[in-house]
Amino acid sequence: MVCLACLLWLAAPVSAADVAAGVRERLEQPTVLRGRFEQEKQVQGFKNPLRSSGDFLLLREHGIAWDTTAPFASNAVLTRQRMATRLPDGSEQVLIDAAEGPAASATASLLMALVAGDLDVLAERFDIRETLHGSAAWELHLVPKEAALQRVFSGLRLAGDRHVREVLIEEAGGDRTRVRLLDLASDPPAPSDAEVARFD
C-alpha cells in the first residue's frame, strides 16, 4: 500500500490555476458518461472488505445514477440537491436532502464533484496536491481545509486520465472506501429521454 501521507508531502502543492494547467489539460468533461463501478469498503475491526459492483450513469447537468447489481440489487440517484436510494421492493429512502440545511447541500455537492471530477468545487473545500504521470495519467491528493470535513475525512485521492478512474476515501475513523470506474464511454454524447427521466 502506498503511503498516502508520504505522497501528500512529496507532491508539490497546487493552486486552482495550477490544477487547471495540469489535470484540467488531461481531464475531459463529457456531458454523458456511462460505465461500471466496483466499490470496496474496508471497515475498522473487520477482516474482509465489503464489496459491491454495478453500473453508473453520469449526466453532468443532472447527477449520477448508481445501479448496484451485487451483492444485491439497488439503485441510488445523486444530484447536487439530494441522494436517494430505491430498493428492490420499490421503497425509496432519501439519504441526503439539501433542504435540510447547508451541511446536507455541501455533502451532495461534494459527492457529485468527486465522481464528476469537478475541480472547482473540490478546490474550494480541499488543499490539492497534483502528481502527473507520463502524458496522460494523473493523481490528485485532497486534504480537507475545514474542521467539519476533517472530522469526517483524513484524505481523498482521485486518479485517472481522460476521466476519473478511481476514488479513494480515507475516513478519519480509519475506514477506507475505494471506487473504481471501469469501461467508461461517452457515446452517444446526448442522454436519452429515459436517462434524463431518472433524475426527475
Structural domain boundaries enclosing 96: 4-197
Q: Specify the number of domains making up the chain.
A: 1
Strands 74-78 and 176-185: unpaired
Who's near 34: CB < 8 A, 6+ residues apart?
A: 55, 56, 57, 58, 184, 185, 186
Instruction: For residues 142-160, give the mean pLDDT.
Output: 90
Is the confidence at residue 69, as pLDDT, over 90? yes
The per-residue pLDDT for range 10-41, each reduced to its tens digit, is 233 344 445 546 888 898 889 999 999 999 99
Q: Which pLDDT does position 103 carry in this prediction?
A: 63
Q: Which pLDDT does position 84 carry in this prediction?
A: 87
CATH, residue 163: 2.50.20.10
What is the DSSP code string of 109-130? HHHHHHHHT-HHHHHHHEEEEE
Q: Which pLDDT does position 124 carry in this prediction?
A: 86
Q: Which pLDDT does position 12 carry in this prediction?
A: 34
Is there a contact between 63 and 196 (Cβ–Cβ < 8 Å)? no
pTM: 0.81
